[in-house]
Structure 1
Amino acid sequence: MARDIVRVAAYHDIPPGRMIYVEIDGLPIALANVAGVIYAFSDSCRHEGGPLSSGVLIGETVTCPWHGWTYNVRTGKAIVPPVGIRIPTYETRIEGNDVFVVLDWPD
């Protein structure tokens, strides 16, 4: 597997309780600041592809603005049925004021 570590934002661009949208090589990713910790996850809701970064963030929960599906931003697990559904999550790193997302690509 190939691994990319990509700078996606400045830390101060994502205030606590807020989300932003980024794209890495065509992959839509949402970044959320939960109490100072930055989480990265797929920006596409598993229901109909709604933009999660445009939804509502309450604690570790993001709600899709289209139909209300909710996910834990830390684990990607759906909060309400169907509970077995997940969105992809990605490792983040903070170096100084820079936010990086770690992506593992298949070879």
Structure 2
Amino acid sequence: MDAEWVAVASTEDLARRRKLRVEVDGVAIALFQADGEVYALADTCVHQDRSLFKGTLLHGKVICPGHQWQFDLETGYEEDQDRCQPTYPVRVDDDGTVYVNPVSRGDATAPSEKELKA
């Protein structure tokens, strides 16, 4: 099971700017730290191919520098759109090492009404 997890950074690396761009198997992933948690999203925005790492963190969301879409850090959901930003599972060990599972949780579509109510 642990073979799926890849060490990509440390919480110390994220401490100053609260965001970091890493690559796992040639895929760009943006890491964000908010409210004591670390989140991982595909770095390239599903809308305009802009780097989310260059976006702004605000209230649990990252704001894309392209057209200001606001992606939820945990789900990748953008409430006014029908597409989601792919997200990746993150694990942080006691020593502060940040691991990402490079298998995306998102399929780039928004959750259905049923999923939102669940």
Same fold flag (TM > 0.5): yes
Q: Does 1:20 align with 2:3?
A: no
Distance in structure 2 (CA, Å) of the matches to 1:37 and 1:22: 17
Q: CA RMSD in A?
A: 1.7
- Aligned match for 2:92, one of 84, 94, 97: 94
Aligned to 2:109: none
1:59 is displaced (CA, Å) by: 2.3
Instruction: Determine if contact 1:11/1:98 at 8 Å carries over to the other structure.
Output: yes
* 8 Å contact from structure 1 (residues 45, 69) kept in 2: no
Scaled by the length of structure 1, the TM-score of the pair is 0.86
Write the mapping of 1:58-77 to structure 2, written as runs, cut at 5 A.
Answer: 58-77=58-77
Alignment correspondent of 1:46:
46
Alignment partner, residue 29 of structure 1: 29
Query: With structure 2 as the length reference, what TM-score do the two structures score?
Result: 0.78
Unaligned runs of 5+ in 1: none
Task: Please state whether the residue corresponding to 2:12 is helix, strand or coil.
Answer: helix
Give aligned pairs, total.
101
User: Which consecutive segments of 4 or more residues in structure 1 shift more than 3 A?
Assistant: none
Partners of 1:68 and 1:4 in 2: CA distance: 33
Q: How far off its partner does 1:10 sit?
A: 1.0
- Residues 20 and 31 of structure 2 are in contact (CA less than 8 Å); yes or no, is this contact kept in structure 1? yes
The answer to which structure, 1 or 2, has the higher relative contact order (CA under 8 A, 6+ apart) is: 1
AA aligned to 1:56 is T
Structure with a larger share of its residues in strand: 1
